[in-house]
Amino acid sequence: MTDKLTEQINLLGIFHYVVGGIMALLSCMPFIHVFMGLMIVNGGFAESGTSQSTPPDAWFGWIFVIMGSIAILLGWLSSIAILIAGNKLRKKKNRMYCLVIAGIECMFMPLGTVLGVFTLIALTKEESKTLFA
């Protein structure tokens, strides 16, 4: 049973690498908001030739920049945490960290939920406690 559990945990570690990479890639999407906000701040959306339209205020652009930057930062930090959990799973170290990250992963639907649930199932078995000791 321990060999099968070892194989499952190694496979879960590989899947953590995959989900962490996909999540890091998808976390780059808010760069669109950051660039749009920078264009608003610099007056890139101001229409030339018409006197009736006024460009958006600079604070509106800064909201886009700040919120987009926060989204990127949180996405990259969670991706790094998932990649670290994958590394710890492969090395069979720090079971509690892997359990916490698996619980957090359940929020990221659909891949994170599936991976988090399977990781929680594998790590709550009695054999995994001895495997990580």
Model pLDDT for residues 105-126, shown as the tens digit of each residue: 999 888 899 999 999 999 998 8
Retrieve residue 16's tokens: 């953590």
Asked if residues 103 and 40 have their Cβ atoms less than 8 Å apart, the reply is no
Question: What integer pLDDT is reported at residue 133 of this predicted model?
Answer: 78
| CB contact at 8 A, 33 and 60 | no
Query: What average pLDDT does the chain have?
Result: 88
Confidence of residue 53 (pLDDT cuts 50, 70, 90): low
Q: Is the dihedral of CA 17, 22, 25, 30 positive or negative?
A: negative
Residues 6+ apart with CB under 8 A from 103: 116, 120
Q: Measured between alpha carbons, how far is 35 from 25 in angstroms, rounded to an integer?
A: 17
Paired tokens of 95: 């079971």
